[in-house]
Structure 1
Amino acid sequence: MSSIKEVLFGEQEKQAEKWVRERLTDQNLTVESEEWQSLLNDYSAYQDYLNDEYEWISEIKWLKENGSVDIYQNFVTELTNIKKLAENSLSEPIPLNENLIIKMCYSYSVTLLEAFLGDSIKALISENKVYLNNAIERLEQIRNTKYSLFDLSKSGMDLSGLAIKCVSEVLFHKIDKTMEMYEKVLGCKINIDTSKVKLIIDIRHDIVHRNGYTKENEVIDILPHNLYQAITDIKHLVNKLQKIIANQKLKDYK
């Protein structure tokens, strides 16, 4: 272990011991005592809480600095970069690890989609009180939240922060459920055919969890043109959704 790591661990141990000693009922108790160990567990849980709060504050700050338009532009840029990376890698006379490159690019394209869908809906909630109120009234993830008023006051979050925190716990791989969430937040109908993207997400699930095999243990054969078509279909869906968002914003900001 390097000397720097030793110093860091030593400082962490000192901080933990100081925190525990300040709360001991008897200063003669040692580290082997039940009370010491219990307080040490409390200290560890408290540190985890502080880390979570720091990450949460950082996310709220990022959402405020990167609105829904910027999030969309970043998504388009990253998706374009994936396609360029694939095209450059697969254009060699004899591409090395062709199958691996395709699976990685295919999977990451869906990861970008899910990140975009999650970040965009949170940005909308943070940007506009109409969307915040819609989210609070219509999203069961918020209506059925486990956070109490005490949690709200303790963390210093406002209603927007609490709503975003609830939405952050949602997984955005179920595309139809995600579209329903957007409809409820935006307050408008979203008529987008999601069938192609649903299939892409299913294939990505097989890649990530079964290394490209179906539940029936059949190999999924993904060729370069399948990858490029998947990227096109993902971009097409996002473009349609972004257009609906932009149009709805124009109505709601008037």
Structure 2
Amino acid sequence: MSSIKEYFFEVQQENCIEWIRQQYGIEIDPDEDEEHWAELAGEYSAMLEAGEAEFEWLNRHSHSEFFHEFSAELATASSMLTLGSSQHADTLSKLVYAHVVTLMEALISSVVRKLIVSEQILLMNLVAGYKKLSGITVTLKQIAEEPKVVEVIVLKALSELSFHNVATINQVLHAMFGEHMKGLGLNEIGRICSKRHDIVHRNGKTVEDQPIELTSQEVQQAIRTISEFAEDLKSRIYNAFTAKDAAEF
């Protein structure tokens, strides 16, 4: 094995040991616990492959594509309201209601992740302005070994966020775009997300154990509200990109 290959192997092994330490809080010696090492090293390798696949997927798409696909999926969800019988109308309404919020969450998550890997200034804005990221320490050694370590850390953090939480939506978007997100309408989105939480996590009941009753008209209104929110968000991002001074992000 050449000295370069040996060094690469050693670096990868050190990184894996550190990942195991952070993930599971244990110290492991590859030579003394070969079976356990093989299992955890395989998990680490799978994590790296998943991260690489994530980068490739994001690089294949534009944020505009995500908005286009979202609109199509939202229209499909709306059409589903006419498919059920009156006997199952309430259940169908709840399913569609929860689904459209999930579509919105996926849209925001995908757009944010796409933009932070393609626009360095937005990545830096997010790292500097979002408290859950600004306190993370990255060493020069990590940067030298993995130039994209910041993107990797940020993508991992974003994957753990819930974008049906309006506080999270607000904090992340304002950190990235600043004044361009001023006045972003989240009040009604918050009410919709709260009702979705009752549907998904309390079997369609409020914290007072009151059953939630949804009409198809109410679901359609929620769909319109989410659609209008997405259009507003797309417009704000477009305005940010067309601003004369990119530093105004």
- Aligned partners of 1:38, 1:177: CA distance in 2, in Å? 41
Which sections of structure 1, spanning at least 5 residues, go unmatched?
1-34
| 2:222 is aligned with 1:227 | no
Aligned to 1:203: 195
> Structure 2 length as normaliser, TM-score?
0.78
**SS of residue matched to 2:225:** helix
- SS at 1:97 equivalent: helix
Shift of 1:145: 2.6
What CA distance in whole angstroms lies between the structure 1 residues aligned with 2:241 and 2:107? 18
Tell me how far apart the structure 1 counterparts of residues 99 and 144 of structure 2 sit (CA, whole Å).
38
Shift of 1:41: 2.1
1:98 aligns with 2:89: yes
Distance apart, 1:223 and its partner CA: 0.9
| Distance of aligned partners of 1:147 and 1:138 in 2 relative to their CA distance in 1, 3 Å threshold | same
Q: Over aligned residue pairs, what C-alpha RMSD do you find?
A: 2.4
Bigger-Rg structure (1/2): 1
Q: Between 171-180 and 209-218, report the one with greater CA deviation.
A: 171-180
Question: With structure 1 as the length reference, what TM-score do the two structures score?
Answer: 0.76
Q: Pick one of 65, 69, 76 that aligns with 2:60.
A: 65
Q: Distance in 2 between matches of 1:212 and 1:130?
A: 42
Larger deviation: 76-85 or 139-148?
A: 139-148
Q: 1:213 to 1:188 in 2, by over 3 A?
A: same
Q: 2:76 aligns with which of 64, 67, 81?
A: 81
Number of positions where the alignment pairs a residue of Structure 1 with one of Structure 2: 216
Q: Is the 8 A contact 2:161 2:168 kept in 1?
A: no
Q: Which secondary structure state, in structure 2, belongs to the residue aligned with residue 240 of structure 1?
A: helix
CA contact (8 A) 2:77 2:96 kept: yes
The one-letter code matched in structure 2 to 1:172 is: F
Cα 1:230–1:97 change in 2 (3 A) is same
The reply to whether residue 177 of structure 1 matches residue 168 of structure 2 is yes
- Offset of 1:122 from its aligned partner? 1.3
Match of 1:40 in 2: 35
Distance 1:67 1:249 in 2: 14
Q: What residue is the counterpart of 2:105 in the other structure?
A: 114
Offset from partner CA, 1:181-213 (integer Å, 9 cap, x none): 112112324212211111111111111111101
State the alpha-carbon separation in 1 of the partners of residues 31 and 150 from structure 2.
38
Letter in 2 for 1:246: Y
Partner of 1:10: none
Q: 2:184 & 2:207 partners in 1: Cα distance? A: 28
Residue 149 of structure 1, CA deviation: 5.0
2:140 and 2:75 mapped to 1: Cα distance? Answer: 44
- The percent identity for this pair of structures is 21
The runs of 5 or more residues in structure 2 that have no matched partner are 1-29
